[in-house]
């Protein structure tokens, strides 16, 4: 079932059409004023006429904020005020459609909704694009912004400006969008909107009297937000008389209808039956359906310049509706709009079926899920211990966890994920390797590909510029944590008397796994963190192998900075010792760099008491049994046949053991 359809069933979101309001689905809570402002439709799926909304009446905007500051709650209120959804408890966070979003209370995939609103006698079409707040999904934020002329910047009245508030502000500022600062949660006991206004003025140079104080939860002042949207955000600058120019800013996959592309029209109009061309792939399509999201799909006769909606045109894969692509009419080419930077995977991990007989099912689940999430990269891979699988690239660790959770929940697949690694690089010096790869520099996403030091002139590691916002009492501990993670301080600024913003250059691999957890725990949850790509730097990297009775365990190999190898090797050996069951012979668990052993744990033999029944009488029999047991042990050691149950590796590889 389409996401939109599923959302409608589960949360009762529906259209405020006159007919449905009187029908059996009718619930109290409709806002009568909103009904008359909406273009007439006698049935939900009947096509709407959007020609009554000229460019001047359109406002395209996004809500941006630090995680949990209340974007989705504010979006719900805006949807209620404009009558897009009914005011019931079932309609909490309507734009968070995925099960994982509802369970984790985070927005993963940006969603849009067209709202109809009458202000001072004029009907407006307000296109709201909800965006995710977590750092892993900032790629979604920047592409949502490209379809907007303004943003509502939501800041929690108690927490104040946080790391992602800063990052999101700059995304909007650099895109030259109008910014409406909104201070949310003023109903909280500890709310201090005045302090937050001062922070906004100091950091973003926005006069404090331009901030709106609201409670999205209770609906206080939310109408004022809509008023500001109309007054402060300019309408899009475009013309319906121009040739069609549509920006694809998102796409989803529906099993029945193929790709559904979210588009923003920067010129012209689009309707069913028109032939369109993708500027990126040069492929031609015939439009099957256009419409708006209310937030469910609502077909329209046409979409006009300035409007935001969806398009279905027989595209079979999400890659055909490339995010950032421009669509134009066949034989009426236009200058393509500037595209976006494509999503760059930051974290790679191997993925294997728990049982190899599940390989094909997992393959098709992966294919279907990646159709909906084009930011995941997939390459086939295989491992001696885990069999055939894939190496996947994710935007960050949360993205990896969310993807895994979606595989389990939406496709009923349980998988093994190997230890995450970041994309390292090696500048090759060996002529042989250069010839083999056809280039001088290679990216290493799998420790198995790590080239030997002798064939490399330099290893490089990815870095990020991290922003930390914290109450000042935690600064000391945070600075120690950052230094421990090999980070270099770049800036430090007091945003008010007791809040500090720190900027650090981090090696990416030092923050991907548990940095955020460590930061949260040492600041009692008060410090926030965000980061952006900062290129590569030279690093003393090595490949660390884990050996079990002298045999390397391929999937436990990691690429690591030399200074960190000893501690990491020791930890892995200890963990393995805990997870491998004792056997009839002794097991050596070692961490090694090349031939050099850097850590060792010994798992003592489980000494089966083979002579227990001999009552000390028959010495010959006793000796014979002991000899046989020793032979058994030697044989096992000799062939290195350590019986490690599969789930022992899984427990070591899975991140739960990191804690």
Shortest Cβ 528–ligand GTP spacing (Å) = 12
Nearest CB to ligand GTP, comparing residues 154 and 573 = 154
Q: Which of residues 130-149 bind ligand GTP (CB under 6 A)?
A: 132-133
Residue 65 annotated as part of some ligand binding site = yes
Nearest CB to ligand GTP, comparing residues 115 and 636 = 115
Of 56, 187, 563, 658, the one binding ligand GTP by CB under 6 A: 187
Q: What is the spatial distance between Cα 514 and Cα 341, in angstroms, rounded to a whole number?
A: 27
Nearest CB to ligand GTP, comparing residues 62 and 184 = 184
Q: What is the spatial distance between Cα 299 and Cα 314, in angstroms, rounded to a whole number?
A: 16
Site string for ligand GTP, 95-114 (x = CB under 6 A): ----------xxx-------
CA pseudo-torsion sign 307, 323, 294, 226: negative
Residue 314 annotated as part of some ligand binding site = no
Site string for ligand GTP, 68-87 (x = CB under 6 A): xxxxxx--------------
Q: What is the spatial distance between Cα 156 and Cα 65, in angstroms, rounded to a whole number?
A: 9
Task: Tell whether residue 375 is a contact of ligand GTP (CB under 6 A).
Answer: no
Shortest Cβ 531–ligand GTP spacing (Å) = 17
Q: Please, are residues 460 and 537 in contact by the beta-carbon 8 Å criterion?
A: yes
Q: How many CB atoms are located within 10 Å of the residue 99 CB?
A: 14
How open is the CA angle 68-108-404, to the nearest 5 degrees? 120
Shortest Cβ 119–ligand GTP spacing (Å) = 23
Shortest Cβ 264–ligand GTP spacing (Å) = 22
Nearest CB to ligand GTP, comparing residues 222 and 587 = 222
Q: Which residues sit opposite 588 in a β-bridge?
A: 602
Residue 133 annotated as part of some ligand binding site = yes
Nearest CB to ligand GTP, comparing residues 130 and 320 = 130
Classified as helix, coil or strand, 616 is coil
Of 35, 208, 217, 503, the one binding ligand GTP by CB under 6 A: 217
Residue 381 annotated as part of some ligand binding site = no
Q: What is the DSSP string of 449-465?
A: GPPPGGGEEEEEEEEEE
544-577 b/e (C-beta count within 10 Å ≥ 16 → b): bbbbbbeeebbbbbbbbbeebbeebbeebbebbb
Nearest CB to ligand GTP, comparing residues 76 and 545 = 76
Residue 438 annotated as part of some ligand binding site = no
- What does the block give as tokens for 514? 């548990």
Of 65, 313, 415, 416, the one binding ligand GTP by CB under 6 A: 65
Classified as helix, coil or strand, 84 is coil
Shortest Cβ 67–ligand GTP spacing (Å) = 4
Q: What is the spatial distance between Cα 194 and Cα 231, in angstroms, rounded to a whole number?
A: 24
- What does the block give as tokens for 520? 């949260």
Shortest Cβ 193–ligand GTP spacing (Å) = 11
Shortest Cβ 655–ligand GTP spacing (Å) = 21
First vs last Cα of the chain: how many Å apart?
38
Shortest Cβ 444–ligand GTP spacing (Å) = 33
Residue 86 annotated as part of some ligand binding site = no
Task: Tell whether residue 458 is a contact of ligand GTP (CB under 6 A).
Answer: no
Q: What is the spatial distance between Cα 64 and Cα 61, in angstroms, rounded to a whole number?
A: 10
Nearest CB to ligand GTP, comparing residues 258 and 396 = 396
Q: Which of residues 302-321 bind ligand GTP (CB under 6 A)?
A: none
Q: Please enumerate in sequence order all residues whose Cβ is within 8 A of that of 264, keeping only pairs 6 or more positions apart, or say none.
A: 60, 146, 147, 236, 246, 247, 249, 307, 308
Q: What is the spatial distance between Cα 570 and Cα 270, in angstroms, rounded to a whole number?
A: 62
Of 8, 110, 216, 502, the one binding ligand GTP by CB under 6 A: 216
Task: Tell whether residue 215 is a contact of ligand GTP (CB under 6 A).
Answer: yes
Using CB under 6 A, count the residues that bind ligand GTP: 21
Nearest CB to ligand GTP, comparing residues 185 and 245 = 185
Nearest CB to ligand GTP, comparing residues 36 and 409 = 409
Residue 608 annotated as part of some ligand binding site = no
DSSP H helices, 337-430, are 359-372, 397-411
Of 17, 86, 91, 93, the one binding ligand GTP by CB under 6 A: 93
Shortest Cβ 111–ligand GTP spacing (Å) = 11
Q: Which residue is nearest to ligand GTP (CB)?
A: 133
Q: Please, are residues 384 and 554 in contact by the beta-carbon 8 Å criterion?
A: yes
Nearest CB to ligand GTP, comparing residues 196 and 386 = 196
Residue 67 annotated as part of some ligand binding site = yes
Of 109, 185, 391, 406, the one binding ligand GTP by CB under 6 A: 185
Q: What is the spatial distance between Cα 366 and Cα 394, in angstroms, rounded to a whole number?
A: 13
Task: Tell whether residue 188 is a contact of ligand GTP (CB under 6 A).
Answer: yes
Q: How many CB atoms are located within 10 Å of the residue 448 CB?
A: 15
Task: Tell whether residue 251 is a contact of ligand GTP (CB under 6 A).
Answer: no
**Cα–Cα distances in angstroms (integers) from residue 291 to residues 11, 540, 625, in the given order:** 21, 54, 81
Q: Please enumerate in sequence order all residues whose Cβ is within 8 A of that of 199, keeping only pairs 6 or more positions apart, or say none.
A: 155, 160, 161, 495, 496, 499
Positions that interact with ligand GTP (CB under 6 A): 65, 67-73, 93, 105-107, 132-133, 184-185, 187-188, 215-217
Please report, in range form, the residues annotated as the binding site for GTP: 65-72, 130-134, 184-187
Please report, in range form, the residues annotated as the binding site: 65-72, 130-134, 184-187
């Amino acid at each position: 079932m389409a996401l939109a359809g599923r959302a409608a069933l589960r949360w009762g979101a529906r259209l405020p059409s006159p007919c449905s309001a009187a029908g059996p689905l009718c619930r109290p809570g409709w806002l009568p004023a909103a009904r008359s402002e909406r273009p007439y439709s006698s049935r939900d799926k009947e096509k709407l006429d959007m020609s009554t909304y000229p460019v001047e009446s359109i406002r395209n905007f996004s809500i941006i904020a630090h995680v949990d500051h209340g974007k989705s709650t504010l979006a719900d209120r805006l949807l209620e005020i404009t009558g897009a959804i009914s005011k019931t408890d079932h309609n909490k966070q309507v734009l968070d459609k995925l099960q994982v979003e509802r369970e984790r209370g985070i927005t993963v995939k940006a969603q849009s909704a067209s709202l109809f609103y009458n202000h001072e006698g004029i009907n407006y079409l307000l296109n709201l694009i909800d965006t995710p707040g977590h750092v892993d999904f900032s790629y979604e934020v920047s592409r949502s912004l490209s379809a907007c002329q303004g943003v509502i910047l939501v800041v929690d009245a108690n927490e104040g400006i946080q790391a992602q508030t800063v990052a999101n502000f700059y995304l909007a500022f650099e895109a030259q969008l109008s910014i409406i600062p909104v201070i949310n949660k003023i109903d909280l006991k500890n709310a201090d909107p005045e302090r937050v206004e001062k922070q906004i003025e100091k950091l973003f140079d926005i006069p404090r009297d331009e901030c709106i104080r609201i409670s999205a939860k209770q609906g206080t002042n939310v109408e004022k937000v809509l008023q500001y949207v109309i007054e402060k955000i300019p309408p899009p600058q475009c013309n319906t008389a121009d040739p069609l120019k549509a920006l694809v800013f998102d796409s989803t996959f529906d099993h029945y209808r193929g790709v559904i592309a979210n588009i923003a029209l920067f010129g012209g109009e689009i309707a069913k039956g028109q032939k369109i061309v993708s500027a990126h792939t040069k492929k031609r399509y015939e439009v099957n359906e256009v419409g708006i999201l209310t937030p469910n799909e609502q077909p329209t006769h046409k979409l006009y310049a300035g409007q935001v909606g969806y398009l279905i045109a027989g595209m079979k894969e999400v890659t055909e509706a490339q995010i950032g692509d421009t669509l134009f009419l066949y034989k009426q080419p236009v200058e393509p709009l500037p595209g976006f930077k494509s999503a760059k995977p930051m974290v790679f991990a191997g993925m294997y079926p728990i049982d190899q007989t599940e390989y094909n099912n997992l393959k098709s689940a992966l294919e279907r899920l990646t159709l909906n999430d084009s930011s995941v990269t997939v390459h086939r891979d295989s491992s001696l211990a885990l069999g055939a699988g894939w190496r996947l690239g994710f935007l960050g660790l949360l993205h990896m966890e969310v993807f895994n959770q979606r595989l389990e929940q939406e496709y009923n697949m349980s998988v093994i994920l190997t230890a995450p690694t970041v994309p390292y690089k090696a500048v090759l010096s060996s002529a042989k390797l250069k010839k083999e790869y056809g280039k001088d520099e290679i990216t290493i996403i799998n420790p198995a590909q790590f080239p030997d030091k002798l064939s490399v002139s330099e290893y490089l590691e990815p870095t990020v510029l991290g922003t930390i916002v914290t109450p000042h009492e935690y600064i000391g501990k945070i600075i120690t944590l950052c230094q421990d993670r090999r980070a270099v301080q770049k800036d430090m600024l007091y945003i008010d008397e007791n809040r500090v913003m720190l900027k650090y250059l981090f090696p990416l691999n030092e923050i991907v796994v548990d940095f955020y957890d460590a930061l949260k725990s040492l600041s009692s949850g008060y410090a926030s963190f965000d980061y952006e790509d900062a290129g590569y730097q030279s690093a003393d990297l090595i490949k660390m192998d884990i050996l079990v009775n002298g045999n390397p365990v391929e999937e436990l190999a990691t690429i690591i900075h030399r200074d960190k190898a000893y501690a990491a090797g020791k930890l892995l050996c200890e963990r393995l010792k805990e997870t491998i069951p004792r056997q009839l012979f002794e097991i050596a668990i070692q961490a090694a760099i090349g031939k050099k052993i850097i850590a060792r744990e010994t798992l003592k033999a489980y000494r089966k008491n083979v002579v227990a029944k001999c009552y000390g009488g028959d010495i010959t029999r006793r000796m014979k049994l002991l000899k046989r047991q020793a032979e058994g042990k030697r044989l096992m050691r000799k062939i290195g046949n350590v019986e490690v149950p599969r789930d022992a590796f899984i427990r070591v590889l899975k991140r739960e053991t990191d804690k």
